[in-house]
Amino acid sequence: MPLVTDRYRSLGVSWIDTMPLRKGELMERGVDVIDLGAGDADLDPPPQAVARLREAAGIPALGRYGFGMGHRPFREAAVRFMEERFGERFDPITETIPLIGSKEGLSLLALAYLSKGDAVIVPEPGFVSYIGGARLSEGDPFFVPLRPEKDFLLDVDEIPPEVADRARLMYLNYPNNPTAATAPLEYLERVVAWCHDHDVLLAYDNAYSELAFDGYVPPSIFQVAGAREIAVEFHTLSKTYNMTGWRLAWANGAPEFIEVLAKVKTFVDMGQMMAVQAAGVAALDARHDFIPKNLAVFRERRDAAVEAWRAAGFHVDVPKATMYVWIRLPGGVDDIEFTMRLMNEAGVIVIPGQGLGPSCAGYFRIALTTRAERIVEGAERAGQVLAKMLAAPVA
Ligand SMILES: Cc1ncc(COP(=O)(O)O)c(C=O)c1O
C-alpha cells in the first residue's frame, strides 16, 4: 500500500467539510434538518450573472483554456471595484490575479513563501485553507488565539520573538469568520508595522468586506500606508453575491507578489472557466443594485437570530458583519457534545468552536444561510437541548 506523507497526515479533519455527510445521513433518516453549518446561503446570485453565464457558455472562445490571464474584463471589473470601494488603484494585469475561489489562492501562496520549518502566523480559529497552506508547505503554523477579551483581534504581541524571527507569512481575516469580529484601521496599522518589522508577507482575507451592517464599512488592508509592500488581499464573489459554487475570486497586490502566485498557479491549474469569469463581471457590475437588497435579507436573519438564540439561553453579541453569529454556551457546556446532541436529537447543524480551534471551547457558530423562521426554530430546538444538558447532573 503506497504511503501518504507526513504533511498529508498533519492536515487533520475539517469539520465544515464533513458536515454535508452527516447532514445527508440525517436526511436519509427522514429528519427535518435545519442546516446552520457551512457559510453557503440559500439565496440567489445576481440575475445578471446567471443570464451572462447562460450566454457566455454558448461562446466557444469562453470555454477554452483561460490560462493565467483568464478573461481580461474580469480583471478590469475587479480593479474598478477596488478603486471605487476602497480608493485603491491596481493594474489589472500585473497587480491582479483571478482565482478559482479565494481558498485556492490563500493556500497556494504558502507554497511559494514557506520553506520547511518556516513559521506561519495563523489565527485560531482560522479558515481551513490557512492551515492547508501552512501544512502542505511543511511550514510551522504558530496559532494565535483570537480572544474575546481582545475583541477577537489577533494580538501580534503574543508572537514570541523566536517565532517572529522565522515567520514568513501571516494570515488575517476581518470581518472575521467565525467570530464576526471587525478590525479598526488603527489595529490593521499595527499589524502592517509588525509585518514590516519582521519581513512577513500578510495574506489579508477580505472575503466578507461587503457583508456588513448598521453603517459599518470594512476597510481594505491597502488603506493602511505601506501595506502594498507586504500584503496581498483576497476577495471572493462567493459570499457577496451568493456564488459559492461558481468558484470565482481574485487577489490584488504588488507585481512581485502577484507574479509569484501566478507562477505557482501556472504549475497547478488552468484558471477558472472564462464564461464564469464573464458572469463574474456581470455580478460585480450589478453590485449597487444587488448588494443592498442582499444585505437586507442577511440583516433580517441576523436580528432574528440574535433575539431567538438569546431567548433560548445562549450568550450572543450582535455581529456587525459576516453571515455568522459566534455564540457562547452557558454553564460550561462542552461545545462538541452540544453540537453532536443538537444534530442527533434535534436535527440542527452548527459548527462547534473546538472544530475550528482548541481555544474556541465553549463556543459554536451558526451561519445565517437559511430563512429567519428556520433560524428561530433552530434556536428553539437548541434551547431544549441546552436545557437538558444544564439539568443533567455533573459527572
Ligand atoms: C474567511 C474565509 N475566507 C475564504 C473563504 C473561501 O471563499 P471561496 O469560496 O472564495 O474559496 C471563506 C469561505 O467560507 C471564508 O470564510
327-338 b/e with 16+ CB inside 10 Å = b?
A: bebeeebbbeeb
Which DSSP letter does residue 36 get? -
- CA 324: distance to chain centroid? 10
Pairing of strands 140-145, 119-124: parallel
Q: Is the peptide bond before 47 cis (omega within 30 degrees of 0)?
A: no
> φ and ψ at 97, to 5 degrees?
-140, 125
Beta carbons of 61 and 382 less than 8 angstroms apart: no
Ligand 1 close to Cβ of residue 207 (< 6 A)? yes
pLDDT of residue 393: 59
What predicted TM-score, i.e. pTM, was given to this entire model? Answer: 0.95
Closest C-alpha among 131, 175, 159, 124 to residue 145: 124
Which DSSP letter does residue 43 get? P
385 CA to centre of ligand 1 in angstroms: 30
What is the average pLDDT value for the chain, to the nearest integer?
95
Ligand 1 close to Cβ of residue 173 (< 6 A)? yes
Residues 218 and 182: their CA atoms lie apart, in Å, by: 7
pLDDT of residue 395: 55
Q: If you take atom 13 of ligand 1, which residue's CA is the nearest one?
A: 39
Fold (CATH) for 6-44+289-390: Aspartate Aminotransferase, domain 1 (3.90.1150)
Residues 342 and 339: their CA atoms lie apart, in Å, by: 5
Ligand 1 close to Cβ of residue 238 (< 6 A)? yes
Closest C-alpha among 105, 346, 355, 334 to residue 205: 105
Alpha helices in 29-65 (DSSP H): 47-57
Q: Would you call 203 helix, strand, or coil by DSSP?
A: strand
For residue 122, CA distances in Å to 26, 242, 257, 356 come to 34, 27, 19, 12
pLDDT digits (tens, 9 = 90+) for 352-370: 999 888 899 999 999 999 9
**Nine cell digits for residue 117:** 520549518
Where the chain has pLDDT below 70, the residues are: 16, 393-395
Alpha helices in 237-320 (DSSP H): 237-240, 255-266, 274-285, 287-311
**Domain 47-287 falls under CATH 3.40.50.300:** no
For residue 387, CA distances in Å to 34, 176, 306, 333, 376 come to 19, 30, 18, 10, 17
H, E, C per residue of 313-337: CCEECCCCECCEEEEECCCCCCHHH
387 CA to centre of ligand 1 in angstroms: 34
102 CA to centre of ligand 1 in angstroms: 6
207 CA to centre of ligand 1 in angstroms: 6
Residues 360 and 159: their CA atoms lie apart, in Å, by: 19
Pairing of strands 119-124, 348-349: unpaired
List the chain domain ranges.
Answer: 6-44+289-390, 47-287
Give the nearest ligand 1 atom to 16 CA: 14
Ligand 1 close to Cβ of residue 305 (< 6 A)? no
161 CA to centre of ligand 1 in angstroms: 30
Beta carbons of 240 and 206 less than 8 angstroms apart: no
Q: If you take atom 5 of ligand 1, which residue's CA is the nearest one?
A: 103
103 CA to centre of ligand 1 in angstroms: 6
Ligand 1 close to Cβ of residue 103 (< 6 A)? yes
DSSP string, 54-71: HHHHT-GGGGS--TTT--
Q: What angle do CA 59, 290, 317 make, to 5 degrees?
A: 130
Q: What angle do CA 20, 140, 163 make, to 5 degrees?
A: 130
pLDDT of residue 24: 86
